């Protein structure tokens, strides 16, 4: 008391500032996480009070200031987690005058409030929660408000019913002694004890500012550390039950003793303040004082003893912490996967079942450390298997990689700042703004990645120097087909010595220098990392039988559908095996909801199965499904099972996803799997179909059609190199071709042209929208559906393979008479499909691997947190502010309209077609410069807090930090192209500077000798203007040219470097910067040749483009065709090959042994941008 009396004076002075901070905390800090709450209280609120000379306690602990230990202890007993964030949330819920709106994706706030308010909760048909969409919400509100009950409203999404506005705003009317609120023109009684809570399960809801002002928004999302504490309690209660019970008892004793102490203090203070005479003469007060002193000593002794007990228990509990830490890491990895696909939702309840189940399954051990190790190993693998079966094939590696990196970061082995290097490489760097590349054999992208690696990772800080001093060895390693299998020059032993993160450091090196090997190296990294192991990268298959074994009647299974997958047959077959009645199969759509509900109700009673198909089309029923299952749960027959199939849908109900098990059913990929599916009885071809026409030709062509069907499907994996548009070819297309062939053969001899036309243009071609895809499909039919196909010895193998087919396997259209012989032959297909069998170059595998790797980096990037600083302590906002300053300093000055108009007049004015084109280009370019400048300036102001951080600015901040191009720099509001599209910020900004250089040089009176077509918004406009100028040149004399008679004429020159062009051509233009994909150009032979190994893109020499009169051009073409074969090569603006980006066709010479069809199957094209 003496000490307290001395400090009271100081506390009284600081009370004003402390109360201001407490009020600010309750009013404003609810929506934020623990880190930001601490920052805003200590760095902003406290600093502001000190700046205004308001006395305030330094480093004020808002928890102890706003709530006493006893109260928080009661909350903990009621189920509130013990971490500081949860205690703060408890204060916010109980101290705020506005009704709380709780963000509660894990359901912890709901369970705590239900426990805390159990005495005042109403009950309706066994339920004490009200859904926001409940038709009786108004009546339930009136009942609770009139009787002073607690109303918990769940199912909140982005809005709350406006009917509740008067209640939220507490528009209380007093009439006599009674209080009322007018709700929807009904005067309802209002009891002062009435409480109302709104709860949303959405992890990141978008509430309007008005709604946030009417309620107290509180983020109850569990933190990784908070979940770790909860899981530790569960581990101890399972492994050391007596210890956890002892701790619970100690906590209850401490709480009751602390309460007793506080009551004694309060009682004594009350007597002291109410006493009016001499204190020493008040015998009762002296007795109370003596009693308080004695009890205080006794309670303090108990508290000291309890603290010692808690310390001893804590030491024993710490042995089991690694298991809780791993559990917390796994759960948050699962949560982050929901950012990849909205259907990947797993509730904390589901995870806790896995967590507890892993302790049952784990091998027992007498040593605590060994037991913990067993639990961690079992838990990690069980969680991996559970989550893995509900992920699409393309996301399975992403999840395992995410878990592995998260484990390493949490353990402190890996800095979180290393993860962005893995995801982005050198994407933020500009090739013109870094040190010059010393290696000719290294690509620009790899060099930028290498520079970033050396700057960011201390281990590799001297890597460039080491590579320069040992260049030949590094070159051999870089150019090897499988560098991940070789020792890393100069660094192998250092990597081995880094036992914990050596595999990750090697992965970083491979990712930066050889992106195409990244996925294979990711698997090696997981395999070689001690915390994971080979089991996490081995292929595993979950059959429907395995899924059924783990099913419960009240937990439905959702099959996430993908192209070509349908579990219906498997479910029906399993039902038959179990000797159960056939399942009720309902395909959802308009009017099917009542039918589905009726089937479910019948299934619950009779113990039958129900399969609801295409549930993304019946979202209305899906939103009701959770309530329906909970209602029927008590009366379910043990044999009842509910299966749901659905494609991913952004509005699929969160609650249903979190209560169900998820299973994907990806069809196997590859030619072998595709052909086996076609030759499966009941699917496409059986013995009966083989015997329908008694000729070998029929069986050979059947196989050829099935082979073609698998080829065109599998070709999609190569992206735009395969098909411009990835079409959904179905079994129906193949079925139609077979029927046509069958009937055609019945009518006599086959007409090959008719057959080819029906397959390429009618049956398959009916869904093909791109003209070049039509050309490709026609080429396949001309090559593979001909009279030669039925000749003995015919093979689909390329005549002159570059690499060769594995084991020299021959893909032949056999004429076996037995169905089993076909299946046996197909089962012998090579494991990996060689690209040459598709007609593609072996480099296409490299294209596919790069595409898959970039997809992995993008998907992993979506899981990364968007807030906070990194290990170096530099906040995200500071990094972006600095980058914005750098970009602004390099941004070209604006183009003034009067200035460029005057310069264009000097160039000949608007009568010159190319000047009109230049004028239009500069107008668009100035719009881009203005947009970039204004966005970066606004972003800097928003970071400083001087303007509002809008959603557009937030997106820009995230993009700049991730080295991506902000969406609104590339696109208009409607999604049209605003500027140009490139994958990284560094490439995009470098392109901006190069474009500016071309425009300014041209404007200043020097018309380019050769045009960089890539640097134009509208390259078609440039070529059209050129055609106009050519037509005008020939508009004299008798043979006048009209513009619609002028066609493009192209010739590849021998000029490789821009400096070699001393003057423009007399007519037409030179074009440079075009890149060949799927082929290369031989200057010596003057024609197309095969690409060099591992070289995806080859630069084309300068191309001469001019206009020719269509009549004279036709005559020349006819003469030329007799001498030189020419491939009409499409020229695209981007690697994404669609009609939207097609510029024109260039005629490129072909060697006689490789005619145009060969290059068509190769997917050869010219690109302005390779990215």
Residue 933 has a pLDDT of 95
For the stretch 678-690, pLDDT in tens is 888 777 888 888 8
1113 pLDDT band, cuts 50/70/90, is low
Query: CA-CA distance, 650 to 221, in Å (whole number)?
Result: 21
Q: What is the pLDDT of residues 750-771, one digit of tens each?
A: 889 999 999 999 988 888 999 9
> What is the average pLDDT across 122-142?
86
pLDDT at residue 243, rounded to an integer? 64
pLDDT of residue 238: 79
Q: How confident is the model at residue 430 (pLDDT cuts 50, 70, 90)?
A: confident
Q: Which two tokens stand for residue 515?
A: 């992106």
Cα–Cα distance measured from residue 169 to residue 213, given in angstroms and rounded to the nearest whole number = 9
List pLDDT tens digits, range 923-960.
999 999 999 999 999 999 999 888 888 889 999 998 99
β 186-189/178-183 pair status = antiparallel
Res 223: pLDDT:
81
Q: Do 285 and 272 meet the contact criterion of CB atoms below 8 Å apart?
A: yes
Q: What are the residues facing 610 on neighbouring strands?
A: 584, 642
Give the pLDDT band of residue 5 (cuts 50, 70, 90).
low
H-helix or E-strand spanning residue 1101: none
Tracing tokens 């024609």 back to the chain, one arrives at 1087
Distances in Å between the Cα of 853 and the Cα atoms of 337, 505, 519, 691, 975 are: 18, 17, 6, 46, 26
- Alpha carbons 352 and 334: distance in angstroms, whole number: 13
Q: Could you give the CA distance from residue 917 to residue 1025 in angstroms, rounded to a whole number?
A: 7
Residues 679 and 819 sit within 8 Å (Cβ to Cβ): yes
1003 and 900 Cβ atoms separated by less than 8 Å: yes
Overall average pLDDT of the 662-677 stretch: 83
Mean predicted confidence (pLDDT) in 136-140 = 90
Q: Is the pLDDT of residue 218 over 60?
A: yes
Q: What is the pLDDT of residues 817-871, one digit of tens each?
A: 898 999 899 988 888 888 999 999 988 888 888 888 888 888 888 777 665 544 4
The residue behind tokens 């190790």 is 373
pLDDT exceeds cutoff 60 at 872: no
Which position has the token pair 């009169």?
A: 1109
Q: What is the mean pLDDT of residues 674-701?
A: 85
Residues paired with residue 25 on neighbouring β-strands, in sequence order: none
DSSP one-letter string for 1114-1144: HHHHHHHHTT-EEEEEEEESSSS--GGGEEE
What angle, rounded to 10 degrees, do the helices at 876-890 and 951-961 form?
90
> 């979190």: which residue's tokens?
658
Q: How does the average pLDDT of the chain come out, rounded?
A: 87
Predicted confidence (pLDDT) per residue in 384-429, tens digit: 999 998 998 888 899 999 999 999 988 888 888 888 888 888 888 8
Question: Per-residue confidence at 197, pLDDT binned at 50, 70, 90?
Answer: very high
Q: Are 1008 and 1015 in contact (CB under 8 A)?
A: no
The structure tokens 């996301």 sit at: 395
Using one digit for the tens of pLDDT, what is the confidence trace for 308-330? Answer: 776 777 777 788 889 999 999 99
Q: What is the mean pLDDT of residues 629-653?
A: 88
Tell me what pLDDT residue 871 has: 47
Q: CA 138 to CA 70: how far, in whole Å?
A: 37
Q: Which of 80-94, 242-256, 423-437 has the largest mean confidence? A: 80-94
Output the CA angle 1019-1094-1088, nearest 5 degrees: 55
d(CA 626, CA 619) in angstroms, rounded, equals: 12
In the three-class reduction of DSSP (H, G, I as helix; E, B as strand; rest coil), residue 667 is classed as coil
Determine whether 827 is exposed, middle or buried from the number of CB atoms within 10 Å of its CB (0-12, 13-18, 19+).
Answer: exposed
Secondary structure E strands in 1031-1102:
1046-1052, 1069-1072, 1075-1077, 1080-1082, 1087-1089, 1097-1099
pLDDT score recorded for residue 244: 64
Tell which wins on pLDDT, 994 or 282: 994
Quick: pLDDT tens for 622-637.
988 888 888 888 788 8
Q: For the packed helices 1019-1033 and 913-944, what is the interaxial angle rounded to 10 degrees? A: 160
pLDDT tens per residue across span 517-546: 888 899 989 988 888 888 888 877 777 888
- So what's the pLDDT on residue 1037? 64
750 secondary structure, DSSP code: -
Kindly state the tokens that stand for 659: 């209560």
CA–CA distances in Å: residue 906 to residues 9, 911, 921, 1025, 1032: 83, 12, 17, 18, 20
């Amino acid at each position: 008391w003496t000490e307290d009396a001395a400090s009271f004076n100081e506390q009284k002075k600081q009370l004003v500032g402390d109360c201001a901070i407490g009020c600010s905390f309750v009013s404003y800090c609810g929506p934020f996480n623990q880190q930001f709450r601490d920052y805003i209280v200590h760095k902003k609120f406290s600093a502001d009070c000190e700046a205004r000379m308001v006395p305030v306690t330094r480093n004020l602990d808002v928890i102890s200031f706003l709530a006493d230990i006893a109260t928080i202890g009661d909350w903990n007993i009621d189920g509130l987690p013990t971490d500081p964030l949860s205690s703060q949330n408890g204060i916010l819920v109980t101290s705020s005058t506005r009704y709380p709106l709780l963000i509660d994706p894990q359901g912890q706030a709901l369970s705590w409030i239900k426990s805390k308010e159990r005495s005042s909760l109403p009950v309706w048909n066994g339920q004490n929660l009200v859904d926001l969409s409940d038709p009786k919400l108004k009546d339930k509100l009136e009942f609770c408000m009139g009787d002073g009950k607690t109303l918990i409203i769940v199912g909140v999404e982005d809005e709350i019913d406006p009917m509740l506005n008067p209640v939220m705003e507490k528009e209380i009317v007093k009439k006599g002694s009674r209080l009322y609120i007018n709700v929807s023109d009904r005067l309802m009684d209002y009891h002062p004890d009435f409480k109302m809570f709104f709860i949303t399960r959405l992890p990141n809801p978008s509430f309007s500012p008005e709604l946030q002002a009417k309620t107290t928004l509180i983020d109850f999302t569990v933190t990784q550390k908070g979940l770790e504490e909860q899981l530790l309690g569960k581990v101890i209660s399972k492994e050391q039950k007596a210890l956890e019970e002892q701790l619970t008892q100690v906590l209850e004793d401490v709480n009751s003793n602390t309460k007793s102490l506080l009551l004694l203090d309060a009682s004594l203070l009350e007597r002291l303040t109410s006493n009016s005479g001499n204190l020493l003469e008040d015998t009762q007060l002296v007795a109370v004082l003596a009693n308080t002193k004695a009890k205080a000593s006794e309670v303090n002794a108990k508290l000291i003893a309890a603290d010692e007990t808690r310390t001893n228990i804590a030491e024993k509990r710490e042995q089991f912490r690694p298991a809780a830490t791993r559990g917390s890491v796994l759960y948050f990895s699962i949560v982050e996967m929901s950012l990849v696909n909205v259907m990947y939702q797993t509730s904390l309840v589901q995870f806790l079942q896995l967590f507890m189940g892993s302790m049952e399954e784990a091998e027992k051990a007498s040593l605590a450390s060994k037991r913990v190790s067993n639990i961690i190993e079992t838990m990690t693998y069980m969680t991996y298997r559970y989550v893995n079966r509900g992920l699409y094939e393309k996301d399975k590696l992403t999840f395992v990689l995410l878990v592995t990196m998260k484990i390493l970061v949490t353990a402190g082995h890996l800095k979180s700042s290393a993860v962005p290097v893995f995801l982005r490489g050198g994407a933020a760097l500009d090739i013109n703004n870094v040190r010059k590349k010393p290696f000719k054999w290294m690509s620009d992208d790899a060099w930028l990645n290498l520079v970033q690696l050396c700057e960011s990772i201390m281990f590799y800080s001297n890597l460039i120097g080491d590579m320069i001093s040992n260049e030949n060895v590094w070159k051999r390693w870089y150019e090897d087909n499988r560098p991940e299998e070789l020792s890393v020059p100069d660094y192998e032993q250092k990597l081995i010595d880094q036992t914990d993160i050596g595999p990750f450091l090697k992965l970083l090196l491979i990712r930066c220098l050889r992106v195409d090997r990244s996925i294979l190296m990711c698997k090696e990294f997981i395999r070689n990392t001690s915390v994971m192991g080979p089991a996490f990268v081995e292929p595993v298959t979950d059959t429907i039988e395995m899924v059924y074994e783990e099913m419960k009647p009240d937990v439905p299974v959702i099959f996430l559908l993908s192209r070509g997958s349908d579990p219906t047959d498997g479910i029906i077959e399993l039902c038959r095996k179990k000797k159960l009645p056939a399942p009720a199969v309902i395909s959802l759509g308009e009017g099917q909801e009542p039918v589905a509900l009726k089937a479910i109700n019948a299934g619950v009673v009779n113990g039958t199965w129900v399969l609801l198909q295409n549930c993304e089309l019946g979202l209305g029923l899906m939103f009701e499904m959770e309530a329906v299952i909970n209602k029927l749960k008590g009366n379910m027959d043990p044999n009842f099972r509910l299966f749901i199939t659905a494609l991913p849908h952004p509005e699929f109900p969160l609650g249903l996803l979190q209560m169900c098990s998820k299973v994907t059913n990806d069809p196997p990929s590859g030619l072998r799997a595709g052909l086996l599916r076609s030759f499966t009885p009941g699917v496409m071809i059986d013995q009966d179909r083989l015997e329908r026409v008694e000729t070998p030709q029929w069986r050979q062509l059947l196989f050829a059609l099935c082979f073609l069907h698998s080829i065109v499907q599998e070709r999609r994996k190569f992206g735009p190199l395969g098909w411009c548009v990835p079409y959904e070819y179905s079994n129906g297309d193949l079925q139609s071709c077979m029927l046509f062939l069958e009937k055609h053969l019945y009518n006599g001899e086959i007409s090959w042209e008719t057959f080819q036309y029906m397959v390429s243009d009618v049956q398959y071609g009916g869904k093909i929208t791109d003209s070049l895809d039509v050309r490709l499909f026609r080429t396949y039919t001309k090559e593979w559906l001909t009279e030669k196909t039925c000749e003995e010895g015919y093979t689909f193998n390329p005549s002159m393979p570059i690499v060769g087919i594995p084991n020299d396997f021959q893909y032949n259209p056999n004429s076996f008479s037995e169905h089993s012989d076909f299946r046996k032959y197909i089962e012998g297909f090579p494991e990996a499909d060689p690209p040459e069998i598709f007609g593609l170059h072996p480099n296409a595998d490299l294209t596919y691997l790069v595409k898959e790797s970039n997809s992995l980096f993008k998907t992993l990037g979506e899981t990364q947190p968007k807030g906070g600083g990194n290990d170096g302590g530099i906040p995200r906002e500071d990094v972006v502010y600095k980058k914005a300053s750098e970009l602004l300093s390099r941004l070209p000055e604006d183009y003034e309209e009067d200035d460029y108009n005057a310069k264009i007049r000097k160039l000949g004015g608007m009568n010159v077609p190319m000047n009109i084109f230049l004028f239009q280009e500069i107008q668009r370019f100035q719009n881009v410069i203005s947009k970039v400048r204004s966005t970066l300036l606004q972003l800097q102001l928003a970071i400083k807090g001087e303007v509002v951080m809008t959603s557009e600015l937030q997106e820009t901040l995230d993009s700049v930090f991730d080295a991506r191009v902000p969406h609104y720099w590339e696109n208009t509001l409607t999604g049209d192209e605003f500027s140009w599209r490139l994958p990284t910020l560094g490439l995009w900004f470098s392109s901006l500077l190069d474009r500016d250089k071309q425009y300014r040089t041209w404007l200043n009176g020097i018309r380019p000798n050769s045009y960089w077509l890539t640097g134009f918004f509208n390259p078609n406009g440039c070529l059209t203007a050129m055609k106009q100028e050519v037509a005008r040149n020939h508009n004299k004399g008798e043979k006048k040219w009209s513009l619609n008679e002028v066609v493009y004429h192209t010739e590849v020159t021998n000029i490789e470097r821009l400096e070699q062009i001393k003057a423009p051509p007399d007519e037409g233009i030179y074009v440079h910067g075009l890149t060949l994909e799927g082929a290369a150009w031989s200057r010596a032979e003057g024609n197309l040749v095969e690409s060099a190994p591992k070289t995806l893109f080859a630069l084309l020499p300068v191309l001469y483009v001019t206009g020719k009169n269509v009549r004279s051009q036709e005559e020349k073409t006819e003469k030329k065709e007799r001498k030189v074969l020419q491939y009409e090569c499409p020229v695209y603006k981007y690697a994404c090959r669609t009609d939207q980006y097609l510029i024109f066709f260039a005629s490129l010479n072909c060697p006689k042994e490789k005619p145009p069809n060969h290059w068509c199957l190769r997917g050869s094209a010219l690109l302005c941008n390779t990215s």
